């Protein structure tokens, strides 16, 4: 009954950054809804592990390894998913990393650090969306793109200029894509979560900082991978068939408050591509 309600059974979904954390939660949510899932991650072992979990839920899966900051790699990823699982109906741009925010004020940010955040969070979303739109057959076959932005792209916080700017640009790109692709019946929406429980956050922040973030959220918890997956699932499903160009806050009410929980980077941390 749930699969009929969502309209995702038998569809094909490609999730980037799906090897751990929120991306894994998204991939498993679609699998439970009956969709075949292409699991893309920069690390092949992580992609294979999540693909195995997807198959255990009774649907087809494909593990892919690609650097989605590279245009050629992105085209190959789309081609491989299509060849193995069929036309990709839903693209979820989940690649990014909370650790790509700056550990200090704008006056101390080097250009390389800035560019890393832009490439990691914005360039990847643009390239994947472009490649998906170029090959999707619409308008006779509905499609959907769901981008994962961040609370930091909606609300400014000190020390997060590169990451926040990149995620704000993802939100604007979402709206532009929604307008351009609507005639082809491809809906484009965005989810903006607060900190997501998982290895990326624990690598970027101390335990006390994470607890401070948790305390600043009205619902009293960080965003779980399962909560993120359910939100993305809803936007990609039949339930949101007349929704496009929207930003859904998946933040436990954090955007409704004036609280700002600082998340300093751990000593020696460097931003990594979360695929």
Q: What is the pLDDT of residues 132-172, one digit of tens each?
A: 999 999 889 999 999 999 999 999 888 889 999 999 999 99
Q: Poorest-confidence range of 21-25, 102-106, 246-250?
A: 102-106
Q: Poorest-confidence range of 64-78, 223-237, 245-259?
A: 245-259
Choose among 31, 47, 28, 30: nearest CA to 39. Answer: 47
Eight-state DSSP code of residue 251: S
Q: What pLDDT, on a 0 to 100 scale, did the predictor assign at position 157? A: 82
Domains of the chain: 2-250 (3.40.50.720)
12, β-bridge pairs: 36
Q: What pLDDT, on a 0 to 100 scale, did the predictor assign at position 195? A: 83
Task: Give tens-digit pLDDT for 98-132.
Answer: 554 556 789 988 898 899 999 999 999 999 999 99
Quote the percentage of the chain above a pLDDT of 90.
70
Active-site annotation holder among 30, 113, 114, 163: 163
Position with higher pLDDT, 200 vs 229: 229
Distance, CA of 55 to CA of 212 (rounded, Å): 37
Q: Which residues of 238-249 are buried (b: 16+ CB within 10 A; e: fewer)?
A: eebeeebbebbb
Position with higher pLDDT, 258 vs 251: 251
Identify how many contiguous H helices and E strands the chain contains and give both numbers: 10, 7
Q: Poorest-confidence range of 44-53, 94-103, 250-259?
A: 94-103
Helices (H), 21-146: 21-32, 44-56, 71-85, 111-118, 124-135
Q: What pLDDT, on a 0 to 100 scale, did the predictor assign at position 1? A: 39
Average pLDDT, the chain: 89
Residue 261 has pLDDT above 70, yes or no: no
Q: What pLDDT, on a 0 to 100 scale, did the predictor assign at position 260? A: 62
Token digits of residue 46? 């992580």
Residue 200 has pLDDT above 80, yes or no: no
- Clarify whether 98 is annotated catalytic: no
User: Contact 9/35 with Cβ under 8 angstroms?
Assistant: yes
Position with higher pLDDT, 233 vs 96: 233
Distance, CA of 232 to CA of 236 (rounded, Å): 6
Distance, CA of 167 to CA of 147 (rounded, Å): 10
Task: Give tens-digit pLDDT for 36-45.
Answer: 999 999 999 9
Choose among 91, 82, 86, 84: nearest CA to 16. Answer: 91
């Amino acid at each position: 009954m749930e699969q009929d309600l969502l309209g995702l059974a038998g569809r094909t979904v490609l999730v980037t950054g799906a090897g751990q954390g929120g991306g894994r939660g998204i991939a498993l949510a679609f699998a439970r809804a009956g969709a075949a899932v292409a699991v893309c991650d920069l690390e092949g072992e992580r992609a294979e592990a999540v693909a195995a979990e997807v198959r255990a839920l009774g649907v087809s899966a494909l593990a892919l390894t690609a650097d989605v900051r590279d245009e050629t790699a992105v085209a190959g990823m789309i081609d491989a998913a299509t060849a193995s699982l069929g036309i990709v109906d839903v693209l979820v741009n989940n690649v990014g990393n909370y650790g790509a925010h700056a550990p200090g004020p704008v006056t101390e940010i080097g250009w390389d650090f800035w560019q890393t955040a832009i490439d990691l969070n914005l360039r990847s979303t643009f390239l994947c969306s472009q490649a998906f739109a170029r090959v999707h057959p619409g308008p006779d076959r509905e499609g959907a793109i769901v981008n994962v932005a961040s609370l930091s792209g909606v609300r400014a916080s000190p020390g997060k200029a590169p990451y926040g700017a990149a995620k704000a640009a993802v939100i604007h790109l979402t709206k532009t894509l929604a307008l351009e692709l609507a005639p082809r019946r491809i809906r484009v929406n965005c989810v903006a979560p607060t900190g997501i429980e998982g290895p990326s956050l624990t690598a970027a922040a101390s335990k006390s900082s994470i607890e401070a973030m948790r305390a600043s959220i009205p619902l009293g918890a960080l965003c779980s991978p399962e909560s993120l997956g359910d939100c993305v699932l809803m936007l990609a499903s039949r339930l949101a068939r007349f929704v496009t160009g929207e930003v859904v806050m998946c933040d436990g009410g954090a955007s409704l408050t004036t609280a700002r929980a600082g998340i300093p980077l751990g000593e020696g941390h460097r931003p990594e591509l979360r695929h």
